[in-house]
Amino acid sequence: MGFRRGRWRENRILGISMKQRLDTAIMPPTSETSTAFLPYGRQQIDEDDIAAVMEALRSDWLTTGPKVGGFEAAVCEFSGAQYGVAVSSGTAALHAAMHALGIGPGDEVIVPAMTFAATANCVVYQGGTPVFADVDPDTLLIDPADVALKITPRTRAIIAVDYAGQPCDYDALRDLARVHGLALVADGCHSLGGSYRGRRVGTLADLTVFSFHPVKHITTGEGGMVVTDNRELAARMRRFRNHGIDTDHRQRETVGTWAYQMVELGYNYRLTDLQAALGTSQLAKLPGWLEKRRKLAAAYDTDLANVTAVRPLAVRSGDEHAYHLYVVRLADSGVRGRIFAGLRQQGIGANVHYLPVHLHPYYQDAFHTAPGLCPTAEAAYDCILTLPLHQGMEETDVVRVVHVLRQELGA
């Protein structure tokens, strides 16, 4: 038993380094593959995107200029929120959100175990303690019932992650937040363009965080944004991204003053105008890209319907899934490693999202988390596989992925 436990842990450590090596935006084709390498996600850059960046490059403002506000307004318009604060990454956006809510030492923030580490790290940046909640076994979305069990007098906020692009059960989470006086943050890094019961991602929580990393729906190279209807929180995040200074460079230029005051400790988390120009150009194409992603996901659903060894994650009907990822579960967790390697060998960039955050060595060491804390997420981790999905794919790519997958499974 002790031996099995040891191996189990070792597998996870291997899983980490494997993931870190493979979780890059673009994987170069390997020389031995005959067909082009198909990454699990990748950016699409068109000529109009390049022209938009060129225009910004030729303008007076490379950073803190008008393109930033323009991009913020465009994301607000798209997501239905009132205020947008653009920052240098999704991680910076999460950090700004935690800071705006006043999270500090002694505070607990509930986060799902099944997410990218940044969702929990942002709590730690502020000196707070992330508390891991388990996920629903069918959707891998944070389980409101487990959230309820994890609430203590120290809990200050919940961060919900719209895993793979499907919005969480926000009505249940909102109720919990209201009853216990907690802030609700949506990590919408997977779900830009999704909706829940007719309400858009961006309007479902007090603060919603987006990432514009190249694997996400739209990209600015690196970049992120927090959207909110709360003016006060937006103002605090604007200050936070600029060293905690009460005005920005352009505001001072307009008024014709040199004077500024740093009123709290902040960071340089600014997004440049070059990035904002790219983001605005990309956003204009997002509706079509979402449609494409949904069509590809539907093709996977159809093609996998009679492959019993593989089951796609459950999708609630009625809501709009944004399909950042297409995740399946293998019926037999014992073959995941082999299937993963087989797909890679044939040029298909399968991936695994994610090692549950509490199993990372850092969290086990610093927060004394251990296997067994979130059993559903841990069990899911052993059998999930992310199949390629991005707007540059065609349905023939889906056919190829499913063909190779069946081959590898012997199904």
From the list 43, 129, 203, 211, which residue makes contact with ligand PLP (rule: CB under 6 A)? Answer: 211
With contacts defined by CB under 6 A, name the span among 86-94, 274-282, 341-349, 382-390 that binds ligand PLP.
Answer: 86-94
* 83/208 Cα distance (integer angstroms): 11
* 350/342 Cα distance (integer angstroms): 10
Nearest distance from C-beta of residue 391 to ligand PLP, angstroms: 17
- With beta carbons less than 8 A apart as the criterion, state whether 155 and 181 touch: no
Binding residues for ligand PLP restricted to 89-108, rule: CB under 6 A:
89-91
* Nearest to ligand PLP of 190, 360 (CB atom): 190
Task: Classify 118 in phi/psi space as left (phi over 0), alpha (psi -120 to 50) or beta.
Answer: alpha
Tokens 């910076």: give the residue: 92
* 228/97 Cα distance (integer angstroms): 10
- Which positions from 138 to 177 touch ligand PLP by CB under 6 A, shown as an x/- string? -----------------------x----------------
With contacts defined by CB under 6 A, name the span among 15-23, 85-93, 296-304, 331-339 that binds ligand PLP.
Answer: 85-93
* Nearest to ligand PLP of 187, 319 (CB atom): 187
From the list 63, 119, 166, 369, which residue makes contact with ligand PLP (rule: CB under 6 A)? Answer: 119
Nearest distance from C-beta of residue 223 to ligand PLP, angstroms: 7
* 176/153 Cα distance (integer angstroms): 13
Judge whether 216 counts as a catalytic residue: yes
Q: Where are the alpha helices (DSSP H) in 221-335?
A: 231-240, 249-255, 273-283, 286-304
Q: How many CB atoms lie within 10 A of CB 14?
A: 11
Question: How far is the CA of 394 from the CAs of 143, 289, 313, 389, in angstroms?
Answer: 34, 12, 21, 9
From the list 108, 134, 143, 187, which residue makes contact with ligand PLP (rule: CB under 6 A)? Answer: 187
From the list 43, 115, 195, 208, which residue makes contact with ligand PLP (rule: CB under 6 A)? Answer: 115
With contacts defined by CB under 6 A, name the span among 10-18, 78-86, 114-122, 280-288 that binds ligand PLP.
Answer: 114-122
Binding of residue 63 to ligand PLP (CB under 6 A): no
Residue 6, exposed/middle/buried by CB under 10 A (0-12, 13-18, 19+)? exposed
* Nearest to ligand PLP of 74, 86 (CB atom): 86
* Nearest to ligand PLP of 266, 347 (CB atom): 266
Q: What is the DSSP string of 153-186?
A: TTEEEEEEE-GGG----HHHHHHHHHHHT-EEEE
Of 19, 150, 216, 295, the active-site residue reads: 216
Q: Which of 12, 8, 15 is nearest to 351 (CA)?
A: 15
* Nearest to ligand PLP of 219, 369 (CB atom): 219
With contacts defined by CB under 6 A, name the span among 77-85, 106-114, 186-194, 277-285 that binds ligand PLP.
Answer: 186-194
Binding of residue 213 to ligand PLP (CB under 6 A): yes
* Nearest to ligand PLP of 118, 309 (CB atom): 118
Q: Which of 73, 91, 90 is nearest to 82 (CA)?
A: 73
Give the chain's length: 411
* 305/308 Cα distance (integer angstroms): 8
From the list 67, 190, 239, 329, which residue makes contact with ligand PLP (rule: CB under 6 A)? Answer: 190
Q: β-pairing, 310-312 with 224-228?
A: unpaired
- In one-letter notation, the amino acid at residue 347 is G
* Nearest to ligand PLP of 90, 144 (CB atom): 90
- With beta carbons less than 8 A apart as the criterion, state whether 269 and 87 touch: yes
Task: Classify 171 in phi/psi space as left (phi over 0), alpha (psi -120 to 50) or beta.
Answer: alpha
Nearest distance from C-beta of residue 215 to ligand PLP, angstroms: 7
With contacts defined by CB under 6 A, name the span among 69-77, 183-191, 335-343, 366-374 that binds ligand PLP.
Answer: 183-191
* Residues found near ligand PLP in the complex (CB under 6 A): 89-91, 115-116, 118-119, 161, 187, 189-190, 211, 213, 224
The residues annotated with a catalytic role in the active site are: 216
